[in-house]
Structure 1
Amino acid sequence: MLMEKVAEILREASAEAVEPRFRALASGEVMEKAPGEVVTVADREAEAIISRRLRELLPVPVVGEEAVSADPALARALLSEPAAWLVDPVDGTSNFVAGHPDFAVMASLVRAGRTVAAWIWQPTTGTAYAAELGAGAWRNDSPLSRAGAGGDPEKWRGVLKTRFLDPATQHRLQTGARVFGEVTPGRSAAGMEYPMITDDELDFILYWRTLPWDHSPGGLLVTEAGGVCARLDGTPYQPEPPGGPDGLLVAADPATWERVRGALA
């Protein structure tokens, strides 16, 4: 019941606050919340709707991206509380503002520091993804199971997210990635990129900055479908407040994860 209810909440909040403003944002509905980062009225209204309804469903703290932007201390609930919701009301806000269809609405449930349930709604594709710890992952209610990437790295497809790295490190990673078949900068939305691993469209992704609302939903989706989502030292990913460890490698299977880490290390 919980899985279905949260999926419904995301779809309805999207239909009410996000989708009507896609390619229709009015003057004054886009603001800069930090240098190079924008927020819209759609982000804030959707987060308010989702947060209220999630608390009605399970009365635990809600760690929302926009709420934490206003009060960073709220993110401590991920470590200090037995359970907490994570909410990203519009993942890929810059795409949304630019009128690009690569954005998603996401939420996850964290218990004792681990993501135990996750939801991703892609409004422009009409696709819902969900995962539950130990129970599996789904796309529109169909089970997901990712096969390995195969043994030929020249056929692997990957994403390198290097925006927050210094130029020397960017160059080193790009040089190491030449052994792989196709490597792109990605789609600027984790809610679009993680499902590309489970849907066999990508074989690996290297992220550097790992804000919890961006990576908790997709991380569980990938691991429950048979993939790997781990820090570069091999530690399984767990959502932490902003300011925690950087670097996260996502891959279709353990062998691919090890091979990519070796090439990029």
Structure 2
Amino acid sequence: MDRVAEILAEASAEVVEPRFRALAAGEVMEKAPGEVVTIADREAEVIIERRLRELLPVPVVGEEAVAADPGLARALHSEPAVWLVDPVDGTANFIAGRPEYAVMASLVRSGETVAAWIWQPETATSYTAELGSGAWRNGHRLTRTPAPGDPADWRGSVKSRFLSPDRRRTLEANAAAFGEISEGRHAAGIEYPDIAEGALDFILYWRTLPWDHAPGSLLINEAGGLSARLDGSRYRPEAPGGQDGLLVAADPEAWERTRDILIGR
């Protein structure tokens, strides 16, 4: 666990942090319509992939490698163990000079996330989680307190970018039952820890790319919260294009109440 955390911090220090607010012309590229990548993303992934494979020689499913060859993501289903890597989560924030970005990795065995790491460079904060062993922030155990009793006091986020217009209108109308709804911070590696730390009580995601959600889902579940599909099944990482919809909440009761309010049973 400690060595992977070191690998993420080392790669960040070598090629990510030096480019924060210092990206040169030509170091930001479009990899797909509406999707951008930087030289920092690509170089960090290469470093992390090499060092993780030295630690455990299994396939590495990295966000940027999959962007170039989508077939690589099949390893999540075909291989007994896989590393997942998001070299710069929150790339748009990183490009804009906002500090809400992270470097993330997770280990998946037989389709289940068994270990997770989130490194937040700008605050030097490391989050780790191990299946059945708990969640941690900089070596201190994380335990999420339950959400307040009244949903009118809850703070949450509904990610509506990938929703149909009809579903978006319904969810946004239902969300008025909660105390505060924000757009979130546009980086899963910041938002999941926000729930674990009590800054948010729930988030509804729709598109669930595995490198974005595997680390945080394990962190939340090990801290006492719940990250689950809308049918109640626990989150398991899938190749892009798989199941949509993921609700993350401070505790199982809050998860149930949030789902009932937002979408019904």
State the TM-score bracket (shorter-chain normalisation).
over 0.9
Separation in structure 2 between the aligned mates of residue 169 and residue 11 of structure 1, nearest angstrom: 39
Aligned to 1:244: 242
2:20 to 10, 19, 22: 22
Return the offset for 1:147: 1.2
Aligned to 1:63: 61
Separation in structure 1 between the aligned mates of residue 15 and residue 159 of structure 2, nearest angstrom: 29
Alignment of 1:158 with 2:156, yes or no, is: yes
Aligned to 1:86: 84
TM-score by length of 1: 0.99
Matched letter for residue 21 of structure 1: R
Aligned to 1:77: 75
Aligned to 1:149: 147
After superposition, residues 202-241 of structure 1 pair within 5 angstroms as 202-241=200-239
SS at match of 1:124: helix
Q: What is the number of equivalent residue pairs in this alignment?
A: 263
Separation in structure 2 between the aligned mates of residue 247 and residue 121 of structure 1, nearest angstrom: 25
Can you give the 5+ residue segments of structure 2 that lack an aligned partner in the other structure? none
Separation in structure 2 between the aligned mates of residue 100 and residue 167 of structure 1, nearest angstrom: 29
Return the offset for 1:150: 2.3
Aligned to 2:7: 9
Separation in structure 2 between the aligned mates of residue 185 and residue 166 of structure 1, nearest angstrom: 17
Separation in structure 1 between the aligned mates of residue 138 and residue 81 of structure 2, nearest angstrom: 26
Alignment of 1:136 with 2:134, yes or no, is: yes
Matched letter for residue 165 of structure 1: L
Aligned to 2:198: 200
2:113 to 91, 112, 115: 115
Separation in structure 2 between the aligned mates of residue 242 and residue 164 of structure 1, nearest angstrom: 14
Aligned to 1:183: 181
Separation in structure 1 between the aligned mates of residue 241 and residue 106 of structure 2, nearest angstrom: 19
Can you give the 5+ residue segments of structure 1 that lack an aligned partner in the other structure? none
Separation in structure 2 between the aligned mates of residue 222 and residue 195 of structure 1, nearest angstrom: 8
SS at match of 2:92: helix
Separation in structure 2 between the aligned mates of residue 196 and residue 68 of structure 1, nearest angstrom: 28
In the TM superposition, structure 1's runs of 4+ consecutive aligned residues that sit over 6 Å from their partners are none
Aligned to 1:259: 257
Percent of aligned positions that are identical: 72
Give me the CA root mean square deviation: 0.5
Return the offset for 1:60: 0.1
